[in-house]
Amino acid sequence: MTKISKAACIGGGVIGGGWIARFLLAGIDVDVFDPHPEASRIVGEVIANAEKAYAMLTGAPLPPRGRLRFCQTLVEAVTDADWIQESVPERLDLKRGVLTEIDAAARPDALIGSSTSGLLPTDLQRDMRHPERLFVAHPYNPVYLLPLVEIVGGEKTSAATIRATMERLPPIGMKGVHIAKEIEAFVGDRLLEALWREALWLIHDDICTVETLDDVIRYSFGLRWAQMGLFQTYRIAGGEAGMRHFLAQFGPCLAWPWTKLTDVVDLDEALIEKIGRQSDEQAAGLSIRELERIRDENLVGILQALKGGDGGKGWGAGKLLKDFERTLWAEGGGEAMPADPSRPLRLVETKVSPAWVDYNGHMTEHRYLQVFGDTSDALLRLVGVDLAYVEAGHSYYTVESHIRHLGEAKLGQAIHSACQILSADEKRLHVFHTLHDTATGELIATAEQMLLHVDSKAGKAVAAPAAVLDRVKAIAASHAELALPEGAGRHVGQRR
Ligand SMILES: NC(=O)C1=CN([C@@H]2O[C@H](COP(=O)(O)OP(=O)(O)OC[C@H]3O[C@@H](n4cnc5c(N)ncnc54)[C@H](O)[C@@H]3O)[C@@H](O)[C@H]2O)C=CC1
Ligand SMILES: C[N+](C)(C)CC(=O)CC(=O)[O-]
């Protein structure tokens, strides 16, 4: 996998800010140029949203956050970057000027992406000295959560640039799709434009309100699209005969007056006012930042659900997330020893994600086991049992767990876990985990677990090697000085 080592973002608005957060959270240093007087506040708010979302999205070890620097000039920002992302407003003259300036100042091997929603790369690269390294990298908002990037080359873009670009996206958790022929608005915005155009007509003609229109999408095909797109969804809609039957049955409708797609609605003041008013009513007082938070929590829940799709193998964007996490585990495997190993080890920091909350409005029981399981995994990485160790044929298996629920964890609540080793020998590792509210330190739950070191191919318990045992025993020796935690050794129904 080839990685971006230093990024530059030119323009730090909605999309530039999203790119900045995506790069930083993937551990990449970013230099930013945006003349807007409040650029650093705006970018800071996007990064804060992204950090909140990632804390809910994944328990995998993210790399240390990249360094963010705001530069006084474009030249300063791009000089030593190997990926430069332009995200200035959608005007051909402005973008051409900015890209030409980037081209003059950038390293010869730098890749230069434009976030344009629909301008042709051939038009963008017209005045560049090295047009072969310019491509469109069209992302979707919010860039830090939605993984897709449409990669489109112009007439002068080299095949090597496209290859290099596609290789650099998986390490930042993104999926590049190469659009083979350049066309205005590429693929995604062509589809969105068609829907948007039709939607504007439906409001203009008083067929429905903006809220009804959004309900029609989000309670029906919007849910389908997130997981199967259009063609695969319609294949299923064709019944057992599949796509061919679907085309035969619904093909004739295409000639009926079901759309007004070719007509352009007049966005006059009256229509703008009507949409604006209905949109305000729909928002019911929620600010843009509040809506962004709700959107992000929902997206995290959807991505996590898709991660468990297809019998746990992961599906679509969820499969991509699963693969990304695998890389993070492989790379971040070497957990850093907490500052004071003589205390219970603080190992997992997370937030209660929407997908974790049940009908009682709090974290559901199996998610406790997930957080405690993640805590055991973090301990194991700390003692050298990382992905490579497991793939080489040995691991620890959990053979017994006892969880006590002492408090409640609510949606979005920041929580952390700590681990005390109660005892350890060649094969056994006996641990006591606690789960706390991060804001108050209050104890929410405990878990006592017994793990056995195994030869996973032979399927039997075997002694752990000295390298692992030495580390386990060093922690166990300092934890032996601690008092036995309250609740250790309890079983269900026991009298206090
Ligand atoms: N907003 C969206 O949903 C999406 C937008 N895009 C594309 O991303 C690009 C940026 O759009 P947004 O972020 O929405 O716009 P925006 O208006 O939120 O941000 C543009 C930023 O560029 C800055 N800027 C203006 N001139 C500049 C210059 N000469 N040098 C550096 N910075 C400069 C502005 O100060 C502003 O912060 C556009 O090409 C747009 O089509 C792509 C995907 C989705
Ligand atoms: C409205 N838009 C054309 C700027 C939208 C996009 O380009 C992609 C998105 O995030 O919807």
The residue written with tokens 């399981």 in the block is 373
Residue 485: pLDDT band (50, 70, 90) is very high
**Any domain includes 318:** no
* pLDDT mean over 276-287: 96
Which ligand sits closest to the CA of 19? Answer: 1
Asked whether residue 487 is domain-assigned, the answer is no
pLDDT at 336: 67
Among residues 155, 186, 217, the one where a domain terminates is 186
Point out the ligand nearest to the CA of residue 84.
1
Q: Is residue 291 part of a domain?
A: no
Q: Of all protein residues, whose CA lies closest to atom 18 belonging to ligand 1?
A: 13
- Indicate which CATH number applies to the domain containing 118: 3.40.50.720
> What is each CA distance from 157 to 62, 121, 129, 188, 415, in whole angstroms?
33, 8, 12, 21, 48
Whether residues 432 and 358 fall in one domain? yes
In angstroms, what CA-CA distances link 353 with 164, 218, 311, 411? 35, 20, 21, 6
Which has the closest alpha carbon to 444: 485, 403, 491, 483? 403
Q: Tell me, yes or no, whether 395 and 437 share the same domain.
A: yes
One domain, residues 29 and 65: yes
Predicted confidence band of residue 363 (pLDDT cuts 50, 70, 90): very high
| pLDDT given at position 11 | 98
- Residues 340 and 422 placed together within one structural domain of the fold: yes
- Check pLDDT > 80 for residue 216: yes
Looking at ligand 1, which atom is closest to the CA of residue 16?
13
The answer to whether residues 95 and 138 belong to one domain is yes
Mean pLDDT of 192-213: 96
Domain holding 455: CATH number?
Answer: 3.10.129.10
* CB neighbours of residue 50 within 10 Å: 23
Domain range for 348 is 336-479
Residue nearest to atom 5 of ligand 1 (CA): 15
Q: Tell me the mean pLDDT in the region 82-99.
A: 98
Q: How far apart are CA 412 and CA 290, in angstroms?
A: 13
**In the prediction, which pLDDT does 490 show?**
93
49's CB contacts (< 8 A; 6+ apart) are 21, 142, 144, 289, 292, 293, 296
| Whether 184 contacts 120, CB under 8 Å | yes
Is residue 86 in a domain? yes
The answer to whether the complex's ipTM is over 0.95 is yes
User: Do 343 and 229 belong to one domain?
Assistant: no
Mean pLDDT of 11-38: 98
> Do residue 223 and residue 129 come from a single domain?
no
pLDDT at 338 over 80: no
Tokens describing residue 12:
């730090």
Q: Are residues 217 and 162 in the same domain?
A: no
Q: Is residue 280 part of a domain?
A: yes
pLDDT of residue 72: 98
Report the length, in residues, of the chain.
496
Buried b (16+ CB within 10 A) or exposed e, 432-442: bbbbbbeeeee
Q: How many domains does the chain have?
A: 3
> What's the 399 CA to ligand 2 centre distance in angstroms?
49
Find the Cα–Cα–Cα–Cα dihedral 86, 89, 93, 98, rounded to 10°. -30
For residue 460, the surrounding DSSP H or E stretch is strand 460-461
451 near 390, Cβ under 8 Å? no
Q: What number is the average pLDDT over the span 274-286?
A: 96
Same-domain pairing of 156 and 250: no
In terms of DSSP H, where are the helices of 106-219?
A: 121-124, 159-168, 188-204, 210-216
pTM for the structure as a whole: 0.84
Among 369, 386, 368, CA closest to 377: 386
Q: Please indicate, yes or no, if residue 169 is contained in any of the structural domains.
A: yes
Q: How confident is the model at residue 342 (pLDDT cuts 50, 70, 90)?
A: confident
Contact 435, 444 (CB under 8 A): yes
Q: What mean pLDDT do residues 310-315 have?
A: 94
Q: Do 56 and 174 sit in the same domain of this protein?
A: yes
Which protein residue has the closest C-alpha to ligand 2 atom 10?
140
Last residue of a domain, which of 152, 186, 220?
A: 186
Gap from CA of 14 to ligand 2 centroid (Å): 11
The Cα 281–Cα 246 span in angstroms is 38
Residue closest via CA to ligand 2's atom 4 equals 117
One domain for residues 343 and 262: no
Residue at which a domain ends, from 285, 314, 345: 285
Most ligand 2 atoms within 8 A of CB, residue of 95, 140, 174 to mutate: 140
Q: Is the pLDDT of residue 333 over 60?
A: no
349 falls in which pLDDT band (50, 70, 90)? confident
Quick one: which atom of ligand 2 is closest to the CA of 140?
10
Q: Which residue in this structure is represented by tokens 């945006």?
A: 34
Closest CA to 467 of 389, 413, 365: 389
409 with 357, same domain: the answer is yes
